[in-house]
Amino acid sequence: MSEPIKVDIWSDIACPWCFIGKRKFERGAAEFSEAAGDSAPEVVVEYHSYELAPDTPVDFDGDEVEFLAGHKGMDPAQVQQMLARVTGIAEATGLDYNFDILKHTNTIKAHELMHFAKAQGKQLEMGERLFSAYFTEGRHVGRVDDLVDLAAEIGLDRDEARSALESNRYLADVDADKAQAMQYGIQGVPFFVVDGKYGVSGAQEAQTFAQVLGQVWSERAEVEVQA
């Protein structure tokens, strides 16, 4: 069995392109594995924290249009057009975005929960649950009580999750992720680092991810031949 290909992904729960990018990457990884056949290496994914708007209050008094109009200084009509476009792109990737019921919030605690879930071997499940809760179901992902409920829904211990969040146990890990993003020069998400050397910015098409994974695999094969 070949050594796994590690993919580190910087993202924010409140980033619509990050959920779209997640789906496109998953399809690209599946395409790569299918093309490579039985000899394909495992693709191992780890998510890292990135806050797009760290100054956002936990309970924002307004809808997504009002937030983006204020945060980006855009005309509300422009924001509505942008959200409609993103909703259409999300739908094309199999995602159902409901910006009308979305509860904009600070995501620092959600990032802490992702690190708690990683420690329990359930980071990928937690990320999927948080994205769906936020963009599709209109759930609140900024308050401890709501996050504990979401953690329990994927089988994590409710009391342990609450303890981790209330004690800020994983806040240092979140900060370390953000510091690493600065070192890499990451200025937006999603951002994918493949095998520690190839960076892919944005929600690229599945084929792009499949090609990058294939490039890593072929380079490894060349090294093995030369050795």
For the chain, which residues make up each domain, given as ranges? 5-226
Of 38-42, 92-96, 139-143, 145-149, the poorest mean pLDDT is in: 38-42
Token pair 């994927």 is found at 154
Q: How many CA atoms, within 13 angstroms, populate the side-chain half-sphere of residue 60? A: 25
Query: Does the structure show a pLDDT above 70 at 136?
Result: yes
Cis peptide before 54 (omega within 30 of 0): no
Average predicted confidence (pLDDT) for the chain:
95
pLDDT in tens, 148-181: 999 999 999 999 999 999 999 999 999 999 999 9
The residue-averaged pLDDT of 31-52 equals: 94
| Cα 185 from Cα 201, distance rounded (Å) | 11
Beta-bridged to residue 7, according to DSSP, are 45, 194
Pairing of strands 5-11, 43-49: parallel
Match domain 5-226 to its CATH number in 3.40.605.10, 3.40.50.720, 3.10.20.600, 3.40.30.10.
3.40.30.10
What are the Cα distances from residue 15, in Å, to 26, 32, 164, 169? Answer: 17, 26, 24, 24
| Cα 50 from Cα 156, distance rounded (Å) | 23
* Identity of residue 52: L
Q: How many CA atoms, within 13 angstroms, populate the side-chain half-sphere of residue 80? A: 4
Residue 44: Cβ-neighbour burial (10 angstroms; 0-12, 13-18, 19+): exposed
pLDDT at 224: 64
| Cα 204 from Cα 221, distance rounded (Å) | 25
Contact 9/192 with Cβ under 8 angstroms? Answer: yes
